[in-house]
Amino acid sequence: MHKKIISVVLLIALVSFACKKSDYREVNKYTIEQFMDTVSISGSSFSADETKILFSSNQTGIYNAFTIPVEGGEPTQITQSEDDAIFVISFFPNDNRILYSSDKGGNEINHIYLLNEDGTVKDLTPDEKAKSMFMGWSFDEKSFFYGSNKRDQRFFDVYEMNVETFTPKMVYQNDEGYFAGAISRDKRYFALVKSITNHNSNMYLYDRETQELKHLFPHEDDVNYSPQTFSTNSKNLYFLTDENNEFTYLKRYDIETGQSDIIEQADWDIWYSYFSRNGKYRVTGINEDAQTVIKVYETDTNQPIPLPELPGGNITSVNISKSEKLMTFYFNGSRSPNNLYTYNFETEKYTKLTDTMNPGINTEDLVNAEIVRYKSFDNLEIPAVYYKPHQIKSEKKAPALVMVHGGPGGQARIGYNPYVQFLVNHGYLVIDVNNRGSSGYGKTFFKMDDKKHGDVDLDDCVEAKKFLITTGYVDENKIGIIGGSYGGYMVLAALTFRPDAFAVGVDLFGISNWVRTLKMIPPWWESFKKALYEELGNPETELEYLRSISPLFHAEKIKKPLMVLQGANDPRVLKVESDEIVEAVKKNNVPVEYVIFDDEGHGFVKKENQIEGFKAVLKFLEKYLKGESEN
């Protein structure tokens, strides 16, 4: 529970605002093709001479690597993939070669690739069964570090790759399921963390000179630790912890003395903190009520510097150049997709580099998300993100959707979501629920659904119906539920265990059989297996419990129309999970529609598949929820 206790008066005011605010007007109706013609971009890396920025964009229909001049101009496509998504990592520190990451058809077995200046490509981690994760450049810029599970698929060893010979060398053999969270600039120290449960972890300091592994801050209670970065002189480790607090905060550990002190706290979780290359600035990201708040401090004074004030959204993903003169950041909001900016610390001027919104869409036709709160069955306050179409009148009740995020332990957040805006544009109210067990609202709230999945967290979603009905805009007989991954499980659980609660369900790659899913988790999740079992249940020892919360074993109860979307290559939620629930529901003579993408994994990254999927979702909702055919 967060520290800022909202009074009853304020809560009533919030609900009243959401329910009575009237901004009715007609809007243009847009197709999913128009929404997907908006470009999605991510990542940023400065070229060695700081004249260009590298980023990923799905402008071509699938993510490829692009560059754009720092001063602005047209982006240049530098990879030509038509099949597998390419996500940029970095320019090389001293030339225009780049590193990028890619997998095959969404199988999540990522490799690290080198793109030379002449356009040739080399797979630097070619083992077909091994997953590789970039961990950062060495401070001397002669190598980079990465994690790979090629020796043992369960664990990620740490390798150093020399960029002259591209010969990898294992520098830490990981036999205990540790994760390397930070590497000191002198390469002497590794900060390691080991998950015990989702609420408890241990942090270690490995000294490569002495080969000593030191357990930092032994504890008995549930405390989480997350190493962030080392100081520029490699003498201090900065880390996040929630020790004796509901929210994570930043501390500093002195390696020589063993003493630690608090550096930064907020009334919400601090998500991350890191230094610019020479330590002139420190960047902190805070998860403030489902929105990102960025702070950039001058290290010498510990005073925040003023950031550009842009209306209608938030600054995210700050990246400071090697010279510490320039900064990139992304800006997005409910009605504004990610756009890339540069900022000059000396002139305090910022430049917008991209315009990713489809010019055929009038952003005034889109809606701003609102943070709302409502009381659940036990009076627990549930935060949620609420979207109300402009064109809805209270005298003509509209259909609505309760949306459930992934996880378990994810969070519904404010930001541009083309799928939500598409559904809202077509007349559906949407409430994106942060049910108990969601992150971002304190560790007490986060623990509340452990071993209670498909039960109390589901009831939080059912209670969202009451909020929707109190708005005065919603037809109580036309409320559906939609979600992906763990949210997809919640859809199936709702139709199974609360069969009268929702009129329809839309499940995107959701779990139907927890026994199989927990037995078949990818091998590289080994270090998190105990945490998963602690939260969800152990398939070897708690079989009956897991069967009791698995919709597949109770599918005869499903009586409302269901739609399922699934990627055939999904390594997390296997295709059989969707195959079997679809077959089971068909036996009930209940309408069920099934869309499979043969070239996708856990989530859909190709525009053509996103278009096909959400065109089918809208058609399904128009028929079974709204009760009319799509025009």
Residue 368: is its pLDDT beyond 80? yes
* pLDDT band at residue 526 under the 50/70/90 scheme: confident
589, burial (CB in 10 Å: exposed 0-12, middle 13-18, buried 19+): exposed
For residue 241, how many C-alpha atoms fall within 13 Å in the half-sphere facing its CB? 24
What's residue 22's pLDDT? 55
**For the segment 516-525, what is each residue's pLDDT rounded down to a tens digit?**
999 998 888 8
**What does the H/E/C string look like for 398-458?**
EEEEEEECCCCCCCCCCCCCHHHHHHHHCCCEEEEECCCCCCCCCHHHHHCCCCCCCCHHH
What's residue 522's pLDDT? 87
Averaged confidence pLDDT in the chain: 94
Task: Please compute the mean of the pLDDT values over residues 452-471 and round it to a whole number.
Answer: 97
Helix (H), strand (E) at residue 614:
helix 607-621
**What does the H/E/C string look like for 368-415?**
CCEEEEEECCCCCEEEEEEECCCCCCCCCCEEEEEEECCCCCCCCCCC
* pLDDT band at residue 19 under the 50/70/90 scheme: very low
What's residue 521's pLDDT? 86
Residue 11: is its pLDDT beyond 70? no
Query: Between these two residues, 98 and 8, which has the higher pLDDT value?
Result: 98
* pLDDT band at residue 71 under the 50/70/90 scheme: very high
Residue 82: is its pLDDT beyond 70? yes
Residue 158: is its pLDDT beyond 60? yes
- Ranking 160-164, 310-314, 321-325, 350-354 by mean pLDDT, the lowest is 310-314
In degrees rounded to 5, what are phi and psi of residue 112?
Answer: -105, 125
What's residue 472's pLDDT? 94
What's residue 15's pLDDT? 42
Helix (H), strand (E) at residue 341:
strand 336-344
For each of the domains in the chain, give its residue range(s) and CATH number, in order of start.
Answer: 8-30+367-626 (3.40.50.1820)
What's residue 7's pLDDT? 35
CA 395/CA 472 separation, integer angstroms: 8
Residue 13: is its pLDDT beyond 60? no
Task: Give, to the nearest 10 degrees, the angle between helix 418-425 and helix 607-621.
Answer: 30
What's residue 534's pLDDT? 87
CA 194/CA 69 separation, integer angstroms: 41
In degrees rounded to 5, what are phi and psi of residue 278?
Answer: -100, 10
* pLDDT band at residue 630 under the 50/70/90 scheme: very low
* pLDDT band at residue 529 under the 50/70/90 scheme: confident
**For the segment 579-627, what is each residue's pLDDT rounded down to a tens digit?**
999 999 999 999 999 999 999 999 999 999 999 999 999 999 999 999 8
What's residue 16's pLDDT? 40
Buried b (16+ CB within 10 A) or exposed e, 518-553: beebeebebbebbbbbbbbbebeebeebbbebbbbb
What's residue 5's pLDDT? 32
Helices (H) and strands (E) in the chain, counts: 11, 36
Residue 378: is its pLDDT beyond 70? yes
Block residue for tokens 């942090």:
203
Residue 18: is its pLDDT beyond 90? no
What's residue 205's pLDDT? 98
CA angle 297, 302, 308 (to 5 degrees): 30
Buried b (16+ CB within 10 A) or exposed e, 245-254: ebbbbbbbbe
Tokens encoding 41:
């971009």
Tokens encoding 159:
């390798």
Residue 12: is its pLDDT beyond 90? no
* pLDDT band at residue 531 under the 50/70/90 scheme: confident
**For the segment 280-325, what is each residue's pLDDT rounded down to a tens digit?**
999 999 999 999 999 999 999 999 999 998 988 999 999 999 999 9
Task: Please compute the mean of the pLDDT values over residues 354-368 and round it to a whole number.
Answer: 97
What's residue 295's pLDDT? 97
Sort strands 157-162 and 291-298 into parallel, antiparallel or unpaired. Answer: unpaired
Contact between residue 291 and residue 368 where contact means Cβ atoms under 8 Å apart: no
Task: Please compute the mean of the pLDDT values over residues 484-510 and round it to a whole number.
Answer: 98
Query: Between these two residues, 628 and 440, which has the higher pLDDT value?
Result: 440
Residue 4: is its pLDDT beyond 60? no
- Rg, the chain, Cα only: 24
